[in-house]
Structure 1
Amino acid sequence: MAEKQEPIDTPPYSEQTGSSTAIKPQYRKPHDSAVTFEEYHYYALRTREEEDASEAPKANWKEIVLRKKNPHPLGGANPALQTAHESTVQEASEHLHISDEEWTNASRAFRTASGGACFYLITTDVLGPYGVGFAMGTLGWGPGIALYTVFGFMAGYSGYLIWKVFLGIDSYEFPARNYGDLGFRTWGTIARHVTNVMQAIGLLLLLGQVTIQFGENISQVSKFKLCYVVCPVIFIAVGFMLSQIRTLKAYGLIANFAVWLNLLVIFITMGVIANSPPNFAISVLGSAGSAVDPESIAPDDQGNYPSIIHYAGMPTNSLVGSINGLLSGVLAYSGAQLFVEFLAEMRRPRDFLKAMWGAQLFIYTVYLVYGCFVYHYQGQYSFQPSYQGVSPYGWQTAGNMISLIAALIAAGLYGNIGVKVLYNNVLIDIFHVPSLTTKRGKFFYAAIVPVWWAIAFVIAGAIPDYFGFVAIISSSMLLNLTYTMPPFFVLGYDIQRHAIQGDGFDPVTGHVMREETTVGRLIRGFTSGGKFQVAMNIWHVLYFLCSLSMCGLGMYAAIVGMIDAFKVHQLNTFSCRSPLNLNA
């Protein structure tokens, strides 16, 4: 689906002469609403031309594995220039002169990643198959495989849309740094704020989800002798210390170690599941059968559990349970909201598309193989997470402890990224808190981190129903961030791109030709570009609306499922009784 971005009536860059009277990019305020789409697009096209003429970077696997970067990626680039983008307003106010070359070199210095590195990062970001067997059990063989295939393809398509918009609005002069920048440059300030708030909330809920999951881990490992409410506290206490690592680069080897730990858990559970019965007793709390047909997991008077069964199609009379299982697929493929961060560090962002589709294919293969394997051996007893659904206590403990270490790393990352998204894109923009580069800002940031983790703890304590909480996260935030936002952004991008009049942006005068109302311009942009482009615009509107509809349906199913879950006596808020302990 690679699509080369062609300039629309834009003059060749070599023809630009004369003294500029336009405001130069280095003197613009961050997220300046006075900068038009035409200006963003003009500089993006120029940047893409330069990137296409440059040699593709080679993957340095030592840098990928250790997450270390060349401190001087441009050879002679001045490292001090790399801070230019972070202090634009301050420097402008102090009347410091920044040349065009210095400004673009500072932007180039950030871009060092190769396509191979992005393949690894995407795989690390998205891979998480522990709920696939459960989802297959709620959907049946046919619908499960079909829907995981569709969700996987559409997640890749959303990644393609993000890539397309990024290529058209990112440049050395105006670098796009995060997901909210796509909304800002295609639809405006409100879209940026909504996107940033959703991303921050999504990361907070993910942190809560990890806290729930591994609070239960600790509880199960302790054989429920430890007061349950203490278990998330232990997890949070260790995770909080990890989140004090200020930069993602400093995570280095441990961030990659988590991937291998997860693969180890996958192989362990596959071996154990193939040679031992399911964990029948725990199935009432989070198995596929508990979601779609509780009778299929209910023991008889002698304590014998029903035989393992499989559904070829979707189980009857189980719409809510099947939708909740489907939402596990949404969680499985979520991660597109971080793609912009990956693109922003690539020397040649065009190479991202190959890495993204390769990573999606790998992830899809792992999901289907592992999910079908678990469902084949455990049927309606397939549990979420799968490593808690094995019956031997020793292997339960092994899976719990290994995944716990990986989860602590993930939680530290969620805490680190989440607080930064909240601080840089919400608190600074809306509440005007001091910048992180200032001493006051650093103290303010340090004060927010424990508050962030405390909120995650409250969520973890209040909603111990893990798979129900996954449904809430997936339907409310992750589905929108992965499937709703990309078509919305690309629709705005294509409309504005085809609404450009005349020569577009004039870099000499800064003039942009706009002779009609905003509504008229958007209508003209929607209907321009030929029949195929208009058809694609209509398709993206439908994609956007279908995703919103799925969000509403998912929220309904998640809330109904959560209400039913809280009817179970074991699920008490902030209780010493573990939600996994059926004998208490």
Structure 2
Amino acid sequence: MPPRIADRLFDIARGILPTGDNVPSSGSDELQIAGLTDIEVDKVNAWRAIRQASWAGAFYLCTTDILGPFNAPYAFRQNGYVPGTLLYVFMGSLAFYCGGLLWWLYVKLDSDRFPVKSYSDITERTAGKYMRVLVTWLVFIHMIVNVATTSLSAAQSLYQLSKGRICFVVAIIVWIVVGCLLNQIRTLKRYSWLASSAIWINLLVIFLSVGFIAHSPPNYTAAKASYGIEAGPVITQKFATYPFYERINGVMNIVYAYGGATIFPQIIAEMRRPMDFLKAFSMAQAVIFSIYVFYGLYVYSFQGQYTLPVAFQGVSKYSWQTVGNALNLVSTIIAGGLYGNIGLKILYVNVIERFLKGPALLSSRGRLCWSLLVLAFWWVGFVIGSAIPQVQTLSGMVGAATNMQFTYSFPTGFTFLYLMQLDAAADDAPYSPDGATGRVDTWQSLSRWRRGFLGSPRTRRPILQAFKLVNLVLCIAALATAGLGIYGSGLSIAAAFKSSVATSFGCAAPV
């Protein structure tokens, strides 16, 4: 089939229909109306059969991946009412904008012959092969540390359920084993029903803990174990007065809360209609923002300086702790399984298949390789989680080192580079009006860089150039904030080890 026809069929399959066609929203009739033959219709339907995730499934996956409301009150504790609210609004708006950029880049770069299947593919198309290697390993590190964080949260719940009768490091091992079993699921479609259940469990925990916290004093024992502070009156602040590095760690927890863009390309790649992702993501972001702000403000108002990193564990009555912890165990391990699924796929495709020329993921030999990789992945997560057993500090470091890049720095930076390439190529020979007088200079030429940054004189548009510049400024600002966050989180980790009873690979817990 000629490339142009193949790309047109591919666009129709993704939901990008020719302008002016009166096409229904779904079904095979749209393909007939679009002017395709029966053979072409079969090709499009075959493509859609490979990608089976719906927009509703994408909504559940996005919400499960991003929604982590239980550290929102801790972020308000570290920053205060005013900065906390403003930061959640600003970072949420920026996360929505950057998620839209990732979707736009996917739609622009994906094709039948060169499909985009991961964040790494977008990286290679916009920033080159060397950047792809860096981003691939950064994605892998991001996912494995997320696994460590979710295992820590689940271990804290199990420790409270057992009333401290279980060694904390053993509690982490329990959930590492569960994660190994759960990650035998290899496709996101099969995982979507688990993802949807995790959302409803999280919402149930939120509503129950809201009622519990209103009728319970703070958990002074857990607060002393986490922060080293004694029991006393609850104090809330409009502007927090904690040391600067602690407030930075609170900001990074907000960044961590909105992190999730890492798996967006994988979600879109498994959708029957990638154009519908924006609808699913918009709905997910609205739900997530509303929950974060409500829950964070509510819990902080009742518990003030005693607010714990996992907020519902801050109630002092054991029976109420048990309800929240039992439900959280289920939702946390589902989220950890999702992170593990994505991280393992990235490692498998880029290392096992591409570099080592190993078996395909869905083959029988691929099943064996996948199972061995799952064991190694989760046990490395155990080492990280046990070495830094404080959820709040590990979350802050993850937010600074990885979430900040994937959610803010990379989408804006890659969009800038993509627009640079478009402007630089505007005068190339294949695109010139007569096909013969266009430029053929390379990236070693200063004129090409100038044209890429300022735009071609014949195609220069002020709005497009402003859009390009805004993305460059946002990228630089995000990178600077990430550097500050890594510094602040490092100091927070050091301070946490001084004040917390939890130690690396020890039996004592931070709750």
TM-score by length of 2: 0.88
**More deviation in 260-269 or 442-451?**
442-451
**How far does residue 341 in structure 1 lie from its aligned partner after superposition?**
2.2
Match of 2:94 in 1: 154
Match of 1:485 in 2: 410
Structure 1 residue aligned with 2:124, among 176, 180, 184?
184
- Distance verdict in 2 for CA 1:55–1:178, change over 3 Å: farther
Deviations 1:328-383 (A, max 9, x none): 11111111122222322444433433332232122111111111111111111111
Please tell me whether the aligned partners of residues 44 and 168 of structure 1 are also in contact (alpha carbons under 8 angstroms). no
Please tell me whether the aligned partners of residues 461 and 574 of structure 1 are also in contact (alpha carbons under 8 angstroms). yes
SS of structure 2 residue aligned to 1:577: coil
SS of structure 2 residue aligned to 1:515: coil
**How far does residue 490 in structure 1 lie from its aligned partner after superposition?**
0.6
Whole-angstrom CA distance in 1 between matches of 2:113 and 2:18: 14
Whole-angstrom CA distance in 1 between matches of 2:375 and 2:280: 36
**More deviation in 386-395 or 244-253?**
244-253
Amino acid at match of 1:123: T
Match of 1:395 in 2: 320
CA RMSD of aligned residues (A): 3.2
Please tell me whether the aligned partners of residues 310 and 380 of structure 1 are also in contact (alpha carbons under 8 angstroms). yes
Please tell me whether the aligned partners of residues 137 and 375 of structure 1 are also in contact (alpha carbons under 8 angstroms). yes
Match of 1:172 in 2: 112
Are 1:555 and 2:486 an aligned pair? yes
Whole-angstrom CA distance in 2 between matches of 1:150 and 1:174: 35
Whole-angstrom CA distance in 1 between matches of 2:334 and 2:76: 28
Amino acid at match of 1:140: G
**How far does residue 171 in structure 1 lie from its aligned partner after superposition?**
2.5
Match of 2:24 in 1: 55
Amino acid at match of 1:227: C
Amino acid at match of 1:155: A
Match of 1:464 in 2: 389
Amino acid at match of 1:561: S
Whole-angstrom CA distance in 1 between matches of 2:14 and 2:361: 29
Are 1:523 and 2:450 an aligned pair? yes
Deviations 1:249-279 (A, max 9, x none): 3335333221111111101110000111111
Match of 1:310 in 2: 236
Whole-angstrom CA distance in 1 between matches of 2:209 and 2:161: 16
- Distance verdict in 2 for CA 1:404–1:514, change over 3 Å: farther
**How far does residue 115 in structure 1 lie from its aligned partner after superposition?**
4.1
**How far does residue 523 in structure 1 lie from its aligned partner after superposition?**
3.0
Whole-angstrom CA distance in 2 between matches of 1:168 and 1:390: 49
Are 1:142 and 2:82 an aligned pair? yes
Please tell me whether the aligned partners of residues 61 and 196 of structure 2 are also in contact (alpha carbons under 8 angstroms). no
Are 1:535 and 2:452 an aligned pair? no
Deviations 1:176-224 (A, max 9, x none): 1111111111122122222221111111010000111111211111111
Whole-angstrom CA distance in 1 between matches of 2:470 and 2:12: 25
Structure 2 residue aligned with 1:567, among 479, 498, 501?
498
Amino acid at match of 2:24: E
Structure 2 residue aligned with 1:258, among 159, 173, 198?
198
Amino acid at match of 2:234: I
Whole-angstrom CA distance in 1 between matches of 2:448 and 2:43: 32
Are 1:233 and 2:159 an aligned pair? no
Please tell me whether the aligned partners of residues 214 and 404 of structure 1 are also in contact (alpha carbons under 8 angstroms). yes
Match of 2:147 in 1: 207
Whole-angstrom CA distance in 1 between matches of 2:246 and 2:475: 24
- Distance verdict in 2 for CA 1:73–1:247, change over 3 Å: farther
- Distance verdict in 2 for CA 1:549–1:284, change over 3 Å: farther
Whole-angstrom CA distance in 2 between matches of 1:342 and 1:178: 9
Whole-angstrom CA distance in 1 between matches of 2:271 and 2:342: 19
- Distance verdict in 2 for CA 1:385–1:204, change over 3 Å: same
Please tell me whether the aligned partners of residues 488 and 541 of structure 1 are also in contact (alpha carbons under 8 angstroms). yes
Structure 2 residue aligned with 1:323, among 239, 244, 248?
248
- Distance verdict in 2 for CA 1:518–1:106, change over 3 Å: farther
Unaligned runs of 5+ in 1: 1-18, 27-39, 59-71, 77-98, 300-304
TM-score by length of 1: 0.77
Please tell me whether the aligned partners of residues 472 and 559 of structure 1 are also in contact (alpha carbons under 8 angstroms). yes
For these two proteins, the number of residue pairs brought into alignment is 494
Whole-angstrom CA distance in 1 between matches of 2:14 and 2:327: 45
SS of structure 2 residue aligned to 1:55: coil
**How far does residue 126 in structure 1 lie from its aligned partner after superposition?**
1.3
**How far does residue 101 in structure 1 lie from its aligned partner after superposition?**
8.5
Whole-angstrom CA distance in 2 between matches of 1:365 and 1:417: 26
Match of 1:242 in 2: 182
**How far does residue 105 in structure 1 lie from its aligned partner after superposition?**
5.5
**How far does residue 394 in structure 1 lie from its aligned partner after superposition?**
0.7
- Which protein is richer in helix relative to its size? 2
SS of structure 1 residue aligned to 2:501: coil
Please tell me whether the aligned partners of residues 14 and 273 of structure 2 are also in contact (alpha carbons under 8 angstroms). no
Match of 1:444 in 2: 369
Match of 1:91 in 2: none
Are 1:279 and 2:219 an aligned pair? yes
Please tell me whether the aligned partners of residues 186 and 489 of structure 1 are also in contact (alpha carbons under 8 angstroms). yes
Match of 2:35 in 1: none
Are 1:349 and 2:349 an aligned pair? no
SS of structure 2 residue aligned to 1:246: coil
